[in-house]
Structure 1
Amino acid sequence: MGAGKVASLLAWIYYFLKPELDQINPLIAKRIRDEVEKRVLSPYMEIDNFWWMGFTELSGKVNNWNTWCNSYVLQCFLLLEDDSSRLAGAIYRIMDSLDCFINYAYDDGACEEGTFYWEYSAGRLYECLQLLHDCTGGAISVFDKPIIINLGEYIVRAYAGKGWTVNFSDATARDKINADLLFRYGKATQSKEMTGLANQLRKIGPNSNAIPDGDIYDIFQSLLHRKEFIADDTVCSPASSTWYPDSEICYMNGGDGFFVAAKGGHNGECHNHNDVGSIIVYSHSIPVFIDPGVGTYERKTFGKDRYSLWTMQSGYHNLPEINNFSQKDGAEYKASEVLFEPERMEFSLDMAKAYPQEAKVNKWVRSCRMKNDSVVIRDSYSLAECMSPVRIRFMTWGSVVVPEPGVAVVSVGGEKVRMTYDKTAFSISIDPIHIDDPRLYNIWGGEIYRLSLVARSQSLSGSYTYVISRC
């Protein structure tokens, strides 16, 4: 990935400045061409077992590395390769690799790696497709294919507003979306959802006329389309609900300014967190009951100790701890009986299989229903054994108080909501979590809170209800 980024920059320098470089010393351009050949072009054509290519059984998951690396390689070949036969072979090979990404991706367009990786997965795929379209005079064009459109519009549906995005997996709750890229993608696919959000983001940006940042090709394309972007007046209204049946993610926009993101899926996703059944609640775009997200990447993040990091654990998501057990990592730990009923604005799933057998969970059906003025979450359960009282976790930030038994009030960003629960069934504790990780600190500040509803007693079956409404 790093070699590709540097190589593509050098390839553009070679393409534009070779005559001037030759006047200084012909060895400069020759050295650029030789190094890119040795480090990128030849390895790409001769080696099949780079996992991200998707060509071997070792590949497994094909993630953003595929589109990211292929975009760099495609630029290098188009700018540097003079042998038309080799160039055609390279383009075919790149298209074959990109097909592996498209075939792996969900048909519904959801990015299992989280919204942070949209730019580097769907966004880089678009840039590859745009390069292929342009270099063949439009002969290669798949912008009308549903999966290409769905992959682009995913980021639109996951945008909660005011700079906040749904942050399942390794995503950041407050992330900068590349508005220029989103606009170009939207124009290519004729998606008013993408161009509409791009316009909205451009207008609320600190400087709508600022020179775009990013990789060199991204900058060139953004500048090339800047006048058209500024002149565009497309408006897009948020969808009332979105259901991703393949990834089992659900978004609901309700009355009184509530927006809910809920997920099923499994705990073996790329950039996975153990969060099957977790629910994020926003009030007028401000996250109130939150997913903390991911901290600064370190060795543990991508190693065997990944789930020793608290941000990856279900105990720090809006989920139950059952018989002292949290969810386990692995694709076999998953949701079942997942259902979304748009006419009722209700999402439901059984998340029993997301917990290890030792938790002794027969069923744990969670439903989340959006009403006109509230969000109603209900847990119905059946256990094989009662070894410990259940703990229902809710993550939040801002100011948290319990004015009376059965009521917790959260105030943050000018929003004030209450969560009511059965005071006879639960006691409540509020535990502060100190934040010193820079990536998390920049989002939440120095402290977030974990609300724990602790069952006063435990039976083998029963149900709990939690209602979130405005104060």
Structure 2
Amino acid sequence: MNKQMLLEIVHKMKPVDLSLYYPKGDAAAFWKRALSSGVLQADISEIRAEAVRLDGQSIPELSYTLFSIYSRTGSRLEYERVYFERRRRLNTYVFLALLEPEHPEVLEKLEDILWAICDEYTWCLPAHLPADHNAADINRYIDLFSSETGFTLSEVLLLLGERLSQLLRSRIHHEVERRLFRPFLENGPYDWETARHNWAAVCAGSIGAAALLSVEDPAMLADILLRTERAMLHYLEGFGEDGACLEGLGYWNYGFGYFTYYSDLLCSRSAGRLDWFKQKKVAQIARFQQKCFIDGSHVANFSDSVPQVLVHMGLSHYLAEVCTDVEHPPSALRAPYTEDHCSRFAPAFRNLIWTRAGKEDEAWRAASYFLPDAAWLVSRHVSEAGSFGFAAKGGHNAEPHNHNDLGHFILSGRGEIYASDLGSGEYTADYFGAGRYHYDCNGSQGHSLPIIDGQYQLAGREFSSTVLHASAAEENDELTLDLTQAYQVTGLQSLIRSFVWHKEERPRLELTDTYRYAGIPASWTERFVTWREPELLHPGTLLLPGTMTRGVEVTYDSLKVEPEITVHVYRDHFGMEKLWYSLDFHVLQLGAVGNLVFTFQFL
């Protein structure tokens, strides 16, 4: 689309008013129904509980000491905890002001935090700024959180309107323009405008959405939307036709969420003339969430994703309305108001206005999916013995938020994980720098993969896998991968890994690694990763114990391999130390060929 065509649409756009959010634009009626209906009672109770927690607390300061910690140590958590606490405070008082307009003290607290956010040196996080930046040009930088903040403040202006003071409304307009719109138009293009991952959707989507709400000049709005639309095209290029988000479900929630929030406002204001959800690929991406869950809240958490994910009900219900075959999530998976540690306003608000009563299912239905572009096999199996899950992946080692994990797998049952993906670790400077693959959660040393001649998989697009066979059937799911190119090991001629997932009452996974080597390898170790402390029952059999059940029995040929159990420690995404165990099977008699078979049997 060119600028002239876009400008014609902009000139005919519907006015900005509350009908963008509420039926017939009647905010008072919506919040009155919300207070008396059952569907939002848990959310409203959680919001009120947060207000009680905040009562009497002063607004936390974003001091220079906090700001400088990242440049001095590479640690992000100290500054970001305070930054996100301020956003939680903003969200809480916005929602309380909408729910309880009769309380003027709530509006006073809201105006104070709005003013404080306008006072911030930058809306960017220190981790996203160049080390040599200076105060004179600080506003030229736009990151995920500065764009989100501008979008949030633009929505708050519309939602609260003249209940906010004229001075505050004027200042918010000024800050959003100088921190977002002007830099976007005058200092771009930004690297994230051509990114094929969440940055394009969140940054451009937030700026485009903020502009749709607050830019009155048609030419300026058209310029912003033209750049935003191009960024969204790049974002969608990051997906294959299977709709899989290689960054993991958490980043699907994030990136595709902001893509959706922007798209909804664009479609509403353009009266349907601009509608991203008419595209087949977009609808397929909308179905990704239901394909990720393997057992309760446990997901196929490949890449930088946490092992358990709760659902944004508002986003989920919206997608189910605008796209066919999108399943409604189980009500038990509802994400509480406080679940998002980044305290993002857009999804929290839409959990209130987009969630529909009577749309929840009791559980995800049993299903198996092979996603050919991502090379993921994901299975949910339900029997009289309970619910069970299995996932395995191929792909390449230059994916967004990449982990060196080709051939890795996850195994869960009855609410417990037995073969684990450590997920995302604590984000630091080194985590996204030269030391990334020294972190166990990122390097192949922290995944269920072979270690050949003491060497792990390497990062890079050339380190890849090939799918030789994949099937998702009623009785068995199967995946066979050629992992030869995942390693840079002189002498490795072939490495084929095959999975057969037998969907019996108590399911069974058979894993076979077959290799050929020029000569004889110095060592060969089959590593499996688990949070369960393995127990050796007798030669040929180990137990991965469950908490509520006996767990999973691992059988192997004790004449071919010898097990070794080692405990490790890593820091998870929230900076907490967690134990994990490597279950290493060392090949006893090395040869030029090998065939190693392991069975994981649920008890």
TM-score scaled to structure 2, two decimals?
0.70
- Report the equivalent of 1:419: 554
The one-letter amino acid paired with 1:46 is E
**2:171 equivalent among 23, 28, 31:** 31
Contact 1:213 1:219 in 2 (8 A): no
In structure 2, the CA distance between the partners of 1:436 and 1:240, relative to structure 1 (3 Å rule), is closer
**425, 436, 442: which is aligned to 1:306?**
436
What amino acid maps onto 1:296 in structure 2? E
Distance 1:97 1:376 in 2: 43
Q: Structure 1's 207 and 120: CA in aligned 2 closer, same or farther, altered over 3 A?
A: closer
Cα distance, 1:236–1:146 mapped onto 2, change above 3 Å: farther
Equivalences for 1:405-444 in 2 at 5 Å? Answer: 405-415=539-549, 416-435=551-570, 437=572, 439=574, 441=576
In the alignment, does 2:131 pair up with 1:4? no
Superposed, 1:122-271 pairs within 5 Å as 122-193=256-327, 195=328, 197=329, 199-202=331-334, 214-226=343-355, 229-234=356-361, 237-254=364-381, 257-271=387-401
Instruction: State the distance in 1 between where 2:210 and 2:276 align.
Output: 22
The structure-2 alpha-carbon separation of the partners of 1:103 and 1:397, relative to structure 1 and needing over 3 Å to count, comes to: closer
How many Å separate the matches in 2 of 1:178 and 1:139?
27
Distance in 1, Cα, partners of 2:182 & 2:525? 56
Cα separation, partners in 2 of 1:285 and 1:22, compared to 1, 3 Å: closer
- Separation in 1 of the partners of 2:299 and 2:547? 16
Residue 397 of structure 1 contacts residue 412 of structure 1 at CA under 8 Å; is this kept in 2? no
TM-superposed CA distance for 1:198, in Å, is 5.0
Query: Distance between the aligned counterparts of 1:262 and 1:423, measured in 2?
Result: 25
CA distance 1:218–1:172, change in 2 (3 Å) = closer
Q: Which moved more, 1:273-282 or 1:13-22?
A: 13-22
Alpha-carbon distance between aligned partners in 1 of 2:451 and 2:341, rounded to the nearest angstrom: 45
CA distance in 2, matches of 1:165, 1:84: 44
Do residues 356 (structure 1) and 485 (structure 2) align?
no
Pairing 1:98–2:229 present: no
Question: Unpaired runs of 5+ in structure 2?
Answer: 1-143
Unpaired segments of 5 or more residues in structure 1?
A: 55-60
Aligned amino acid, residue 418 of structure 1? E
- 2:552 maps to a residue whose letter is V
1:58 corresponds in structure 2 to: none
Take 1:83 and 1:20, find their aligned partners in 2: how far apart are those partners? 25
**Equivalent-residue separation in structure 1 for 2:570 and 2:407 (angstroms):** 25
Letter in 1 for 2:456: S
* Distance in 1 of aligned mates of 2:572 and 2:340: 30
Q: 1:4 to 1:337 in 2, by over 3 A?
A: closer
CA drift of 1:41 comes to 0.7
Listed one character per residue, the Cα deviations across residues 316-363 of structure 1 (whole Å, up to 9, x for unaligned) are 2110001211101111000024420234521011101000143x2111
SS in 2 for 1:30: helix
2:183 maps to 1:43? yes
In the alignment, the residues of structure 2 paired with residue 211 and residue 403 of structure 1 have an alpha-carbon distance, to the nearest angstrom, of 42
What residue number does 2:579 align with? Answer: 447
Secondary structure of 1:312's aligned partner: coil
User: What is the aligned-residue identity percentage?
Assistant: 24
SS at match of 2:277: coil
- What is the letter of the counterpart of residue 245 of structure 1? P
The alpha-carbon distance between structure 1 residues 172 and 16, as it changes in their structure 2 partners (threshold 3 A), is closer
CA contact (8 A) 1:111 1:117 kept: yes
1:115-173 Cα shifts (integer Å, max 9, x gaps): 22111122221222111111112222232433212212212111123221111111111
Pairwise CA distance, 1:48: 3.7
Verify the 8 A CA contact 1:362 1:384 in the aligned structure 2.
yes
Tell me the alpha carbon deviations over residues 76-126 of structure 1, each in whole angstroms, 9 at most, x when there is no partner: 212221112322332232112111111232221111111221111222212
Contact 2:212–2:266 (CA under 8 A) maintained in structure 1 = no
Change (3 A) 1:391 1:354: same
After TM superposition, give the deviation of residue 381 of structure 1 in Å.
0.7
Verify the 8 A CA contact 2:440 2:570 in the aligned structure 1: no
Q: In the alignment, is the contact (CA less than 8 A) between 1:157 and 1:238 conserved in 2?
A: no
For 1:218 and 1:157, the matched residues in 2 are separated by: 21
Encode CA deviations 1:177-231: one digit per residue, 9 max, x unaligned.
Answer: 32222222222213342x2x154524xx6799x99995333333332234xx223
CA separation of 1:14 and 1:470: change in aligned 2, threshold 3 A: closer
1:13/1:216 CA distance change after superposition, 3 Å: same
Separation (CA, whole Å) in 2 of partners of 1:96 and 1:178: 27
CA 206–136 in structure 1, closer or farther in 2 if over 3 Å, else same: closer
Alignment-derived partner of residue 213 in structure 2: 79
Q: Which is further off, 72-81 or 233-242?
A: 233-242
Q: Deviations over 1:411-455 (max 9, x none)?
A: 1332411010001001111111134557374xxx84221100011
Q: CA deviation at 1:17?
A: 4.9
2:416 equivalent to 1:319: no
Aligned CA distance change for structure 1 residues 207 and 316 (closer, same or farther; 3 Å): closer
Assess if the C-alpha contact under 8 Å between 1:157 and 1:239 holds in 2.
Answer: no
1:237-278 Cα offsets, whole Å, 9 max, x none, are 434310111111111344664421100000111111110011
CA RMSD of aligned residues (A): 2.6
Q: Number of aligned residue pairs: give it.
A: 451
Bigger mean CA offset, 346-355 vs 74-83? 74-83
Matches within 5 A, 1:326-405: 326-343=456-473, 344-358=476-490, 360-371=491-502, 372=504, 373-405=507-539
Q: Structure 2 CA distance, aligned partners of 1:239 and 1:276?
A: 25
Distance in structure 1 (CA, Å) of the matches to 2:446 and 2:348: 38
